[in-house]
Structure 1
Amino acid sequence: MHLPTPLKPLAAILALAVCPSTASATTLVHNVSGYQATATELQRFSALAFDEGKVLATGDFRELAKRYPDADRIDGRGRTLVPGLIDAHGHVQELGLLQQRLELRDLGLEETLAAIEEFSAQLEPGEWLIGRGWNQVLWPGKDFPTRAQLDALEIDNPIWLSRIDGHAGWANSAALELAGINRNTRTPAGGEIHRLDNGEPSGVLVDNAMSLVQKAIPAPSLQDKKEALAKAFELSLSLGLTGIHDAGIDRETLEAYRQLAAENRIPLRVYPMISVESDKLDKLLKAGHIGEPRDRLYVRSIKLSADGALGSRGAALLEPYHDRPGESGLLLYPESEILALLRLATGNGFQVNVHAIGDRANHIVLDHLETLDKERDQTPFRHRVEHAQVLTVDDIKRFPRLNLVASMQPIHATSDKNMAGDRLGEKRLEGAYAWQKFLDQGTRIAAGSDFPVEPVNPLYGIHAAVTRRDRQGHPASGWRSEEAMSLEEALRSFTLHAAYASHQEQFIGSLEPGKYADFVLLERDIFSIDPQEIWQVKVEETWVEGERVYRRAR
């Protein structure tokens, strides 16, 4: 993955970014095409004034120049200024670790095997070859791979490669042997071990079965995790992200975050969700929230995955898969355990953010949240359904009463468009990737990317939201284009509504007076160009609390 050149070495960026502005002089950024989506409208402006890291005003340059005659002036050189973008669903540590692992995104089968072979040359004997991003839907026949294809490469190292969605893994025989997986291994609840005709494991494991291999892989150290987070911060800033919601972290990763915060090394705003798989979950929740909405590190939510993913047929459906009539997907927990975990979280004052992709998983989650609401008003929590990908139309209508946020990833629609119909059939697509149905009823969409499942660049997501086309422009009329967002709606979903989803809209998400001066300068005006070109626009500068933390190299 190409990393744009940072303004300064990472350590210098982080030191600069975390320290509040000490300058007393007001700063006035002018000569910009400014846009922000407030709760009620799209506002335009040509200048932004801020002081001590907070917005004073946006508006006409001449007016603001009179109001702040002694301000330090920065010429925006005609570029476009928008609020700092927020990814409401990403995986920060995984993004950082991937910079040193093998990425297989968008590769054909032969290209995938060639990349594995090339990458293996740099490994030490016995070292695990770890990677992610393969997608059998892109390969001839669309069949899942087997360990035989990896074994034929004659690589002695154990190999473990996660599917693009992170809900299936592909192992060679060496990895299966180290994990103790053979024909007698029982399939864990909520998982699947693909098997050959002779009963032997094929090398592909789905959802909860993946842990059988993962537990055999040496875990990264605390220092490794801190370094991975720092690398992900750097990449995110270079792409215009000033906030990230980290969708599921364990106890040690939480400790890595806390240490980075104590060291003043978090250069943007992070909203981690504590995974229900975390060690000593009860203790973590009873300890209460970490930080405040204004802080760089703010923790007040949990992440629970109710089902798997559509591409690996792990998403839990009410009716069988259209292309596999004997299968209906997987629930990763028994229904009663899902309810118990939600009750544990809310009982300790934590927002619950539940991964639900299939219509059955979504239905169960909505039922459980309604059960909790009968016991105690749940609307102040702003609970979230992560992905909210395939629902019945009737279940979509249940979101407003519970004040639920639909945490959705627009780029998933354009990545899945060639597969979703195969998995679901035409009828179920009516409630799939249905952004306008949510928006029309007043449900807030907090947009993200699910990186590194998808590229981290938020402009890719904005492009997908408004065009419903992939980056190659297909299909020309947009896939199910009636569900497309307007550009104003897309910007709001990556800014103000994402901030609302983390209880931070009083401090970030727009450039209204009193909020932090988190903003981005873009090379082109996304509101005036062909929408198909939005994904190509480059971030010129990223600012956090009135401090420039990234500048694109010339």
Structure 2
Amino acid sequence: MKKILHHGKVYVEKGVFAEAVMIEGGLIAAVGSNEDILSLADGETELLDCGGKTLIPGLNDSHLHFMQFGETLNQVDIDGVPSIDEMIRRCRDFIDKYPEKVKDGLHAIGWNQDLFVDSDRLPDRHDLDQISREIPIVLERVCGHIVSSNTKVIEMLGIDGDSPQFPDGDFLIGEDGYPNGIFTANACNIAKALIPDFSMEERRKILLETMKYGVAHGLTSVQSNDVGTTFMDGPAAFKLFHDVYDSGEALLRYRHQVCFNDFAAFETYLTEGEFACGKYGEDSWLTLGPLKLFKDGSLGARTALMRDGYAVDRENHGLEWIKDDEMEKYCQLAKQYGLQVVTHVIGDAAIEKTIDCYENAFVDGENKLRHALIHCQITDEGLLTRIAEKGILVFAQPIFLDYDMNIVEELCGKELASTSYAFGTLRRKGAHISYGTDCPVEDCNPFPNIYMAVTRKDKSGQPAGGFYPGECVDVADAIDAYTIESAYGEFMEDRKGRIKKGYYADLVLLDRDIFTVDPMEIKDILPEMTMVGGKVVYQK
């Protein structure tokens, strides 16, 4: 059956608007004036009056951890806790309230030592022992690259001060010569593995609940790294997603970004695993995407890989998660199988090393596989130019500036900070830059993210002129970064991310006009309706 959305302000492309859209078979069949499109209606056409409201393409988060976000909604809330004592209190209360949920262990994510009002030290085993010494406890920093644990975790791992470090990750030693409960990089996964996983039925419920949240905030597509991070059992994860999508219960489009903890597992995936055997239809809402790698840690944890170290500690150059030679192996094998690679890079050294590796894996000297830099935060002019000239994609998170603007100058120095988070410069240089949230590091609601890209102000409107305002983008560019550019990142720019004939009917009707509203209000915008493939999946 045909549907017509009429009397709207329909965003077609920068500077171009229409009034009405006709949908047929899940695709946009026509776009034009009210008169022209309504003349195509017949007796069976469903008419939807937009009431003059703004209609934009469905928003597509180019990098997040969707399943992990769902998990956080089912765990103790430690996001942004103001102190270690408050974190201890919340965890104790959660244990008292949900003893069955935590009888075999407690896990949560969200603390950030820079937000502690009384101290900026990392919580350690002595703190978490105040929660419990009977069950393992693992609490992740908001970035996911450092975890704190209690003594029970150390005992279960069977490590002491003389034990060898884990591959690609460390456990820190306290002043007493014993592990202090703090783990970094890949060692975080080893500690987290001690906490029993959600059951498959729980995961299914979590996934569906998270989809409801996503479409209620205008997301129609997510490109998500869950397999190999949040969900370590790859075959089980792929089966769960197939089951949900095959049943028709899914509310939005999902593209896998897949991690591996060792090269042999990646080889198996390519030759006899999901990559080789998985079934994905041409217009499936579920698609199999790139290999995801981690090159470094995070800025706030002082583990981003920096060329010249940190301004506050030049001896600290951060943490190199995957080494150059290992990364070369992954990228060369990905090239052999025609697979895109996307890599977590935050520090300038991580970005430079990753670009080097990508160039070595180019096809015919070009980035035909659309390898991408996720985050790409700390840059100088040379790196920005090189990214654009080499056609390397950037999956950026403008919303990170809400916090990072408070630390980047101190940690990197003002000169380097002035050329970092350079979303405007990258666009002007012609780079393909798309937006995401890295949720649950930030909420997956796209509108605070668009607000940050447009204003370069925190949620309270500071600084008044914006943080390095030359990097601001206009509203159309921000929407394009969330739509057509995100589609480009998944090789779908010919059928997704625009309101044009032949494109997927993924649409969002907004409660106010994002193009004319006071920029301070952009962060507060919400959908009146969200549509995926012509199907209404959310209505206010």
Question: Normalization by structure 2: what TM-score?
Answer: 0.92
Q: Measured at CA, do residues 422 and 185 of structure 1 come closer, stay the same or move farther in structure 2, by a change above 3 Å?
A: farther
Structure 1: gaps spanning 5 or more residues: 1-22
Q: Which residue of 1 is the match for residue 286 of structure 2?
A: 297
Question: In the alignment, which of 14, 29, 46 is matched to residue 72 of structure 1?
Answer: 46
Q: Displacement of 1:77 after TM fit? A: 2.5
- The offset of 1:223, in angstroms, is 3.7
Deviation at 1:370, TM superposition (A): 1.4
Q: In structure 2, what is the equivalent of residue 325 of structure 1?
A: 314
Pairs within 5 Å for 1:172-211: 172-211=150-189
Q: 1:6 matched to which residue of 2?
A: none
Counterpart CA distance in 2 for 1:426 and 1:50 is 50
- 1:138 is matched with which residue: 99, 108, 115? 115
Quick one: percent identity of the two aligned structures?
27
| 1:282-361 paired onto structure 2 within 5 Å | 282-286=267-271, 287-288=275-276, 291-292=280-281, 294-361=283-350
Q: Distance in 2 between matches of 1:493 and 1:344?
A: 30
Change beyond 3 A, Cα 1:393–1:410: same
CA spacing shift, 1:340–1:135, aligned 2, 3 Å:
same
2:296–2:346 contact (8 Å) kept in structure 1: yes
Matched AA of 1:416: D
Aligned partners of 2:282 and 2:299: how far apart in 1? 34
> 2: CA distance between counterparts of 1:102 and 1:168?
18
Whole-Å Cα distance in 1 between the matches of residues 42 and 15 of structure 2?
27
> CA separation in 2, counterparts of 1:259 and 1:345?
27
- Distance, in Å, in 2 between the alignment partners of 1:213 and 1:397 is 40
Task: Say whether residues 1:433 and 2:417 are aligned partners.
Answer: no
In 1, Cα distance between equivalents of 2:299 and 2:456: 19
Alignment partner, residue 391 of structure 1: 379
Distance 2:359 2:99 in 1: 51
Structure 1 pair 193/36, CA: closer, same or farther in 2 (3 Å)? farther
8 Å Cα contact 2:107/2:192 also seen in 1? no
User: Match of 2:326, as an amino acid?
Assistant: E
Conserved in 2, the CA contact under 8 Å of 1:47 and 1:59?
A: yes
1:436-465 CA-partner distances (Å, limit 9, x unpaired) = 121111001110000011011011111111
Q: Give the deviation of 1:42 after TM superposition.
A: 3.5
Contact 2:312 2:411 in 1 (8 A): yes
- Which residue, 107, 114, 125 being the options, matches 1:147? 125
**In structure 2, C-alpha distance between the alignment counterparts of 1:68 and 1:468, rounded to whole Å:** 44
SS at match of 1:298: strand
Correspondence for 2:90 among 115, 125, 134: 115
Letter in 1 for 2:267: D
Residue aligning to 1:372:
361
State whether structure 2 residue 254 is matched by structure 1 residue 254: no
**Maintained 8 Å contact 2:3/2:48:** yes
How far the C-alpha of 1:403 sits from its partner, in A, is 2.0
Residues 340 and 431 (structure 1), Cα distance of their counterparts in 2 relative to 1, 3 Å cut: farther
Query: Superposition pairs for residues 3-42 of structure 1, below 5 Å?
Result: 23=1, 26-37=2-13, 41-42=14-15
- The match for 1:57 is 30
Distance 2:158 2:364 in 1: 46
Give 1:118's aligned amino acid: D
CA 1:42–1:380 in 2, change beyond 3 Å: closer, same or farther?
A: farther
Match among 128, 133, 139 for residue 161 of structure 1 = 139
Look up the match of 1:14: none
Q: Which protein, 1 or 2, shows the higher relative CO under an 8 Å CA cutoff with sep ≥ 6?
A: 1
- Whole-angstrom CA distance in 1 between matches of 2:121 and 2:454: 32
> Partner letter of residue 314 of structure 1?
T
Q: What is the distance in 1 between the residues matched to 2:113 and 2:159? A: 23
Give the 3 Å change call, closer, same or farther, for CA 138–381 of structure 1 in structure 2: same
CA displacement, residues 219-265 of structure 1 (integer Å, 9 cap, x when unaligned): 33444433332222221111110000012513232232223233333
Structure 1 stretch displaced more, 325-334 or 152-161: 152-161
Q: Which residue of 1 aligns with 2:222?
A: 244
For the structure 1 residues 166 and 491, does the alpha-carbon distance in structure 2 shift closer, same or farther, using more than 3 Å as the test? same
| 1:332-376 residue CA offsets vs partner (Å, 9 max, x unmatched) | 122100010011112111111111111111111111111222x64
Aligned counterparts of 1:164 and 1:474: Cα–Cα separation in 2:
22
Give 1:69 shift.
Answer: 5.5
Deviations along 1:142-181, one digit per CA (max 9) or x if unpaired, are 2212222222345643211111111111112223222333
Aligned AA (1:35): Y
- For residues 163 and 404 of structure 2, what CA distance do their matches in structure 1 show? 32
Gaps of 5+ in 2: 229-233
Q: Secondary structure at the match of 2:386?
A: coil
Q: Secondary structure at the match of 1:131?
A: strand
SS at match of 2:287: coil
Between stretches 242-251 and 460-469, larger displacement belongs to: 242-251
Structure 1 CA distance for aligned equivalents of residues 26 and 154 of structure 2: 53
Contact 1:294 1:504 survives alignment (8 Å): no
How big is the shift at 1:201?
Answer: 2.2
* Matching residue within 420, 441, 447 for 1:459: 447
Q: What is the alpha-carbon distance in structure 2 between the residues aligned to residue 437 and residue 428 of structure 1?
A: 14
What is residue 481 of structure 2 aligned with on the other side?
A: 493
CA–CA distance in structure 2, aligned partners of residues 312 and 173 of structure 1: 22
Aligned residues: 524
Q: CA deviation at 1:47?
A: 1.6
Stretch moving more, 344-353 or 251-260: 251-260
Equivalent position SS for 2:284? coil
2:249 pairs with one of 240, 262, 265: 265
Q: 1:248 to 1:359 in 2, by over 3 A?
A: farther
Per-residue CA deviations over 1:459-482 (Å, capped at 9, x if unaligned) read 111111101112121222211111
- Kindly indicate whether the alpha-carbon contact (under 8 Å) linking 2:222 and 2:253 is maintained by their aligned counterparts in 1: yes
How far residue 33 of structure 1 moved from its aligned partner, in angstroms, is: 2.3
Post-superposition shift, 1:378?
Answer: 4.1
In the TM superposition, residue 113 of structure 1 has moved relative to its aligned partner by 2.7
- SS at structure 1 position matched to 2:459: coil
Are the aligned partners of 2:7 and 2:19 in contact in 1 as well (CA < 8 Å)? yes
